[in-house]
């Protein structure tokens, strides 16, 4: 497990995600959780699902948000605080790709 105590919000910062606003998304999430020591918002190298950019993965909860728009962020933040998920944009990408990335995260590759 990458971390026992913290929730990681990994925001892809590769080219396609950046082109579609992932830098702003990461900044806004960092602001939203600035006072929450249990949540860390980090850049991620690339999830390999660029066709559904921007991508965000919440770990260890294993929530994969794709095609994220800045307008989705309040819902994502609220869901995370409530221990739920935003179903309409969650786990829309290929299951094999998701499992593969979770395997990397399990051994600390992020």
Q: Where on the chain is the footprint of another protein (CB under 8 A)?
A: 14-16, 45-51, 100, 103-104, 107-110
Rank residues 16 and 72 by Cβ distance to another protein and give the closer one. 16
Mutual orientation of helices 22-32 and 73-82 as an angle, nearest 10°? 40
Residue 47: other Cβ atoms inside 10 A: 25
Rank residues 81 and 100 by Cβ distance to another protein and give the closer one. 100
Residue 88: other Cβ atoms inside 10 A: 10
Least distance from C-beta 70 to another protein, angstroms?
A: 22
Distance CA 61, CA 38 (A): 13
Least distance from C-beta 34 to another protein, angstroms?
A: 25
Least distance from C-beta 44 to another protein, angstroms?
A: 9
Least distance from C-beta 97 to another protein, angstroms?
A: 8
Rank residues 78 and 94 by Cβ distance to another protein and give the closer one. 94
Rank residues 70 and 100 by Cβ distance to another protein and give the closer one. 100
């Amino acid at each position: 497990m990458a971390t026992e105590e913290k929730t990681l919000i990994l925001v892809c910062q590769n080219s396609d995600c950046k082109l579609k606003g992932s830098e702003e998304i990461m900044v806004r999430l960092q602001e939203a959780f600035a006072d929450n020591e249990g949540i860390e918002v980090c850049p991620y190298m690339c999830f390999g699902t660029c066709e559904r950019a921007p991508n965000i993965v919440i770990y260890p909860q294993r929530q994969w948000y794709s095609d994220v728009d800045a307008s989705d962020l309040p819902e994502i933040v609220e869901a995370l605080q409530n221990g739920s998920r935003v179903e309409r944009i969650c786990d829309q990408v290929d299951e094999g790709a998701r499992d593969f990335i979770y395997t990397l995260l399990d051994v600390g590759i992020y």
